[in-house]
Amino acid sequence: MKKKIIPDDNNLESLQELKENAKKILEQLEKDENLKNSIDSYKKLININNIIEKKFQFHSKKISENMKEKIARIKKKNAKKS
């Protein structure tokens, strides 16, 4: 799958702001009866979803790395005691 270029304005927003933007777009799509007009909104929604997913993956990786470091420190301490 090709990586899409994500606009900086959305990428700098917090997860809460991104969720609020997605909610607004969903509400707008539910009200809109003309599907041709909603294509851009769907594209924005997909873009927001991609940003949220990348942020989640980034934070998940950071948490995993921190846990590995903590486990290594604990193992070191236990090795010194033995």
Q: How confident is the model at residue 62 (pLDDT cuts 50, 70, 90)?
A: very high
Contact indicator for 51, 6 with CB cutoff of 8 Å: yes
CB atoms within 10 A of CB 36: 7
For the question of whether the overall pTM of this predicted structure is more than 0.75, the answer is: no
Where on the phi/psi map is residue 5: left (φ > 0), alpha (ψ -120 to 50), or beta?
beta
- How do residues 15-53 score in pLDDT, each as one tens digit? 899 999 999 999 998 888 777 778 888 999 999 999 999
